[in-house]
Structure 1
Amino acid sequence: MTYQSVVNMISGKRLSYCLLAGAIRFFLMNSEFQKIISDRVEVSTALNSWKRVTEGVYLRNSGIDPYAGDLFHETPLILLAFTYMHKYLSIWAIKLLFVLADLLTSWLLYLTAKHYVIELAKNEHEEIKERKNEEISYTPIESTAKTTILYVPAAYLFNPYIVLNCVGLTTTVFTNLLFAATLYSMIKRWKISCCILISFLTLQGLYQISLMVPATIYIVKDINVKSSIIKTTITMISLFIGIIGSLLYLSYLIMGNWNFIGNTIGFILTVPDLRPNIGLYWYFFTEMFEHFRWLFIASFQINVGLLYIVPLALRLRKDPMLLAFTYLAIGAIFKSYPSIGDVGFYVALLPLWQHLFQHMQQVFVFGCFGLFCTVFAPTVWHQWIYSRSANANFYFGATLAFATAQIFLLTDILFASVKRELALKHGLSWEVNGNKAKVLLE
């Protein structure tokens, strides 16, 4: 079966999935649950709250600088876009726009999955030709191609985290759209598109600057001349610096001052708002002595922003998409103000590595932890805030367990990648003293 026939076979299913997913989102948006969902700390944070966006737009329309206080933390470009949305679109049209953005994200993920599977299958055939061991001890890419292409957009459309994120009208919906467009641009080797999209993401969330690494690897991947690789890399870096510099200057022209830097990038780095969320910062810095604060802020930010970039890039340079996934997961786990929308996006990418599932060992652990924490966190929140029969330790315990589960998932898929690479080269079964044995990486 050719890849084209596979694509044609699943097109009808995708359309029905999109219609169903869109209907679910639009129904919940116009139900009594919408306000409850939008107020949840797991869904809305200081960076993506719809309520803060509307207040920022109101302040700007009233001639007040939204960045003068500690209320609005979106970029001036986002502020300008939402100003026009509030001016020319009704609330129904705005809700429909959020739904369409989610559907467009799923479409871009579908295209990314299709190209990525074809690329993986091609690379696998080349590696098999060099392999002497005829025993098959891995799942061939072609055997999972059809389901991978279908599961990736479905995992996004029907992911409860993503559905709640859309219903809550968080700006993470549009961030995820930019993420999907970036991944698609990477796999298509579009230099300018990658730099523009990553510049927008960096200006909005800072940690996304790490995506320049897999993007650059994708661009130089097919270049064999060392001088050309260096030249292309310098070109990518120059493009990125030029574009993000232009966006910063454009933001200055929109606002007339540089106050927005302290309330966007500065807000992410210094973590002044310690309202609870699913992250790890709020509780830790609430309990921290003030004279240790900057030391641990630096430690936390280095952990999420710098520590893993080079080692992971060296290890995963042959699979830039897995590298990008890893950076996205690390950001969603350790960033200053995470939400379930961030988690839902990278979890939806997991079917891309369906061929690694047979080598994974922690899926059950992550599934149980994720389900338990998703249900338990709102419960202990109610006990803490409303019933007053619990305290902050209970809620932080749930968020800490959730972060731990995500770390288990990420490390498990990275170990699975190493195991499969070993299987392609040598097979995972040998005879030791005449008895069959298996190699397990722990």
Structure 2
Amino acid sequence: MQAYLPARQFGATFTALAAGRLLLALAWPLDSLLYDQQLSSPLTSYLSLQEGLYLFSNGVDPYDGGSFRHSPLLLSFFSTILPSSRIGAQLLWTLADSVSALCLVTIWRARQRVPYSSRDAMIASLYLLNPYLFMPSLALSTSTLENTLTLVSLALACRQRPSQALLVLSFLTQLSLSSILLLPPLLLLLITDHLSHLASPKSFNGSLKRTLPLLGEFSLYFVSLTFASTVSAGSWKWMLQTWGASLNLPDLSPNPGMWWYFFTEMFDHFRPFFLMVFSVHLLIYVAPICIKFQHDPLYAAFILLGTLATFKPYPTLSDPGLFLTMVTLFPEVYPYFRHPIVTALLHLHASLLLPLFNRLWLTQGTGNANFFYASTLVFACSNGAALVDCIWAGLRIAIGEDKEGYHVVQE
């Protein structure tokens, strides 16, 4: 009976958290959150989704106006299968958060190769109670759904289910083009074992030839979903409004990221060059991270998620929230964090500055754009500090200590 105690505790804790999350979502005044630029971006806004659904139901192409930037797949699902009412949406977003927490627990169990553990309840609790994840979900930001798809894809890959994992990732890429950066570590995860080798790095033991059929399968899913999106939208214009928004940055609405203010002050003559630089900047991390952490592809995916959360063009609080919550999957690196207290205090400082300066600028009118942008720079520094700390710990754990000094334990 004692062997099943952790499982029972997890079930009770998870049920209580999910029920409390739903009650709070139904009781919270939604109007106070829908217009918050920290919780939703032009690509993830629930108000924009509602506007597109209204236009679509009245026979108007929502992509003609240049303000609707959601994927046609979301447009199709919310107009047919998924609920679009506020109460139905709160139920759906609560379900998405619950599935995300379960997937995080599934990844932990698969990584440890155990059916259940005493950490399951803690991992689920940290996801459901993380304010960076909780508040965007209350605002019905579709970034919550993107986080769910990300964790579902990683959980399926950890369970060695390649077709399902690639299908979910291709659907995620339709919603957020930058998520394509997760494909290389996901492929590595599918062709190698998913056990942690951070403390004892091993040379790559998979066959790269196995990635070719997997890459072909992903391409097939991606092309099929792209065709379905085009049929649903009625034309190819949706690509410029959705995928193109991540590359051209047409909407300079304030957000917790670093792109919007930089390009607000940018001369039009230099804009194409710097758009190219900022976009390529995201790509340059993929190969080095996947090569360095080839012995642990899940950790490589985790680091890339942190990179996206820091440097993507339209981030919300849920992006760094997912990265920070996934730290719970790697307790072996905790002793090797270099400046954990400084990083935690930076995040606490940023979490207080962001809403304060946002209100001073946009609500009370006693500040200006520099106020909010200064807080986003502090937020970027906190995310960068967390990312550097995790990279340092992931590399430092591979160095052992003996009586003579330090030695590398990589095989």
Above 0.5 in TM-score? yes
Cα distance between partner residues in 2 of 1:352 and 1:95: 28
What's 1:402 paired with?
A: 379
Cα distance between partner residues in 2 of 1:361 and 1:336: 28
**Structure 2 residue aligned with 1:160, among 117, 120, 131?**
131
**Structure 2 residue aligned with 1:358, among 310, 335, 338?**
335
Tell me, yes or no, if structure 1 residue 385 matches structure 2 residue 367: no
Q: What is the one-letter code of the residue matched to 1:327?
A: L
Alignment of structure 1 residues 26-105 onto 2, 5 Å: 26-85=22-81, 90-105=85-100
Q: For residues 23 and 34 of structure 1, do their structure 2 counterparts lie closer, same or farther at Cα, with a shift above 3 Å needed? A: farther
RMSD: 2.3
What's 1:141 paired with?
A: none
Q: Which has the larger radius of gyration?
A: 1
Tell me, yes or no, if structure 1 residue 376 matches structure 2 residue 353: yes
What's 1:265 paired with?
A: 243
Q: For residues 274 and 228 of structure 1, do their structure 2 counterparts lie closer, same or farther at Cα, with a shift above 3 Å needed? A: closer
- Where does structure 1 lack aligned partners over 5 or more consecutive residues? 120-144, 432-436
Cα distance between partner residues in 2 of 1:413 and 1:29: 33
Cα distance between partner residues in 2 of 1:43 and 1:227: 41
Question: Offset at 1:240?
Answer: 1.3
Tell me, yes or no, if structure 1 residue 175 matches structure 2 residue 146: yes
Cα distance between partner residues in 1 of 2:192 and 2:15: 38
8 A Cα contact 1:185 1:194, kept in partner: yes
Question: Offset at 1:177?
Answer: 1.2
Cα deviation 1:123-161 (Å, max 9, x = unaligned)? xxxxxxxxxxxxxxxxxxxxxx94543332221111111
Question: Offset at 1:358?
Answer: 0.7
Cα distance between partner residues in 2 of 1:167 and 1:247: 29
Cα deviation 1:260-305 (Å, max 9, x = unaligned)? 000110011110100100000010000111111111111111111x
Cα distance between partner residues in 2 of 1:415 and 1:147: 27
Cα deviation 1:37-95 (Å, max 9, x = unaligned)? 22211101101111111110000001100111122111111101111257x66532331
Q: Which has the higher contact order (CA 8 A, sep 6+)?
A: 1
Q: For residues 89 and 62 of structure 1, do their structure 2 counterparts lie closer, same or farther at Cα, with a shift above 3 Å needed? A: closer
8 A Cα contact 1:148 1:352, kept in partner: no
What's 2:198 paired with?
A: none
- What stretches of structure 1 move > 6 A for 4+ residues in a row? none
Cα deviation 1:315-374 (Å, max 9, x = unaligned)? 000001100111111111111100011121121111111111111122111211111111
Cα distance between partner residues in 1 of 2:323 and 2:108: 13
8 A Cα contact 2:44 2:141, kept in partner: yes
Secondary structure at the counterpart of residue 403 of structure 2: strand
8 A Cα contact 1:18 1:157, kept in partner: no
Question: Offset at 1:400?
Answer: 0.9
What's 1:277 paired with?
A: 255
Larger CA deviation: 288-297 vs 381-390:
381-390
Tell me, yes or no, if structure 1 residue 11 matches structure 2 residue 7: yes
Tell me, yes or no, if structure 1 residue 114 matches structure 2 residue 109: yes
8 A Cα contact 2:7 2:117, kept in partner: no
Q: For residues 417 and 180 of structure 1, do their structure 2 counterparts lie closer, same or farther at Cα, with a shift above 3 Å needed? A: same
Q: For residues 38 and 386 of structure 1, do their structure 2 counterparts lie closer, same or farther at Cα, with a shift above 3 Å needed? A: closer
What's 1:292 paired with?
A: 270
Cα distance between partner residues in 2 of 1:25 and 1:38: 18
8 A Cα contact 1:155 1:348, kept in partner: yes
What's 1:131 paired with?
A: none
Question: Offset at 1:387?
Answer: 2.9
Q: For residues 438 and 388 of structure 1, do their structure 2 counterparts lie closer, same or farther at Cα, with a shift above 3 Å needed? A: farther
What's 1:413 paired with?
A: 390
What's 1:254 paired with?
A: 232
Larger CA deviation: 56-65 vs 204-213:
204-213
Larger CA deviation: 270-279 vs 347-356:
347-356
Tell me, yes or no, if structure 1 residue 189 matches structure 2 residue 160: yes
Secondary structure at the counterpart of residue 41 of structure 2: coil
- Where does structure 2 lack aligned partners over 5 or more consecutive residues? 194-203
TM normalised by structure 1 equals: 0.85
Q: What is the one-letter code of the residue matched to 1:220?
A: I
Question: Offset at 1:5?
Answer: 6.9
Identity %: 27
Cα distance between partner residues in 2 of 1:410 and 1:147: 27
8 A Cα contact 1:153 1:348, kept in partner: no
Cα distance between partner residues in 2 of 1:15 and 1:227: 37
Cα distance between partner residues in 1 of 2:17 and 2:175: 27
Question: Offset at 1:388?
Answer: 2.8
Alignment of structure 1 residues 309-388 onto 2, 5 Å: 309-388=286-365
What's 2:399 paired with?
A: 422
Cα deviation 1:147-196 (Å, max 9, x = unaligned)? 54333222111111111121111112211111111111111122211221
Question: Offset at 1:32?
Answer: 4.9
Tell me, yes or no, if structure 1 residue 216 matches structure 2 residue 187: yes
Cα distance between partner residues in 2 of 1:219 and 1:339: 29
8 A Cα contact 1:148 1:354, kept in partner: no
Secondary structure at the counterpart of residue 27 of structure 2: coil
Cα distance between partner residues in 2 of 1:188 and 1:360: 29
Q: How many residue pairs get matched?
A: 397
What's 1:236 paired with?
A: 214
Cα distance between partner residues in 1 of 2:110 and 2:398: 21
TM normalised by structure 2 equals: 0.91
8 A Cα contact 2:399 2:406, kept in partner: no
